[in-house]
Structure 1
Amino acid sequence: MSTDHKPFRVLFVCMGNICRSPAGEIVFRHLVDEAGLGDRIQIDSAGTIGYHAGNPPDPRMSETLRNRGYTISGRSRQITPTDLTDFDLILVADEDNLRDVRSLASPGQSLDHVQLVTDYCSDHDANHVPDPYYGGPSGFEKVADLVEDACGGALVSIKSRIAE
Structure 2
Amino acid sequence: MDLPAESPITKENPYKICFVCLGNICRSPTAEGIFQHLIDEAGLSEFFEIDSAGTSAYHIGESANSKSQRTANKYGITLHSKARQFNASDLENFDLVLAMDNENFNNVCQMADEHHQSKIRRMRDFDPDPGNREVPDPYHGGAEGFENVFQIVKRSCQQLIDELRPHIRQ
* TM-score, normalising length: structure 1: 0.93
In angstroms, what is the RMSD of aligned CA positions? 1.7
Out of 134, 139, 147, the position equivalent to 2:140 is: 134
CA displacement, residues 96-134 of structure 1 (integer Å, 9 cap, x when unaligned): 00000011123x333112100001111553411000001
The one-letter code sitting in structure 1 at the alignment partner of 2:134 is H
- Structure 1 portions without partners, runs of 5+: none
Out of 61, 67, 76, the position equivalent to 1:60 is: 67
* TM-score, normalising length: structure 2: 0.90
Q: Partners of 2:168 and 2:117 in 1: how far apart?
A: 20
Q: How does 1:41-80 map to 2 (within 5 A)?
A: 41-80=48-87
Q: Offset of 1:4 from its aligned partner?
A: 6.4
Q: How does 1:72-151 map to 2 (within 5 A)?
A: 72-106=79-113, 108-123=114-129, 125-151=131-157
- Structure 2 portions without partners, runs of 5+: 1-9
Structure 1 window deviating more from structure 2 (120-129 vs 78-87): it is 120-129
Q: Partners of 1:71 and 1:61 in 2: how far apart?
A: 10
The one-letter code sitting in structure 1 at the alignment partner of 2:51 is D
Q: Decide whether the 8 Å contact of 2:11 with 2:46 is kept in 1.
A: no
In structure 1, the partner of 2:5 is none
Aligned length: 162
In structure 2, the partner of 1:27 is 34
1:155 and 2:156 matched: no
Q: Partners of 1:96 and 1:41 in 2: how far apart?
A: 26
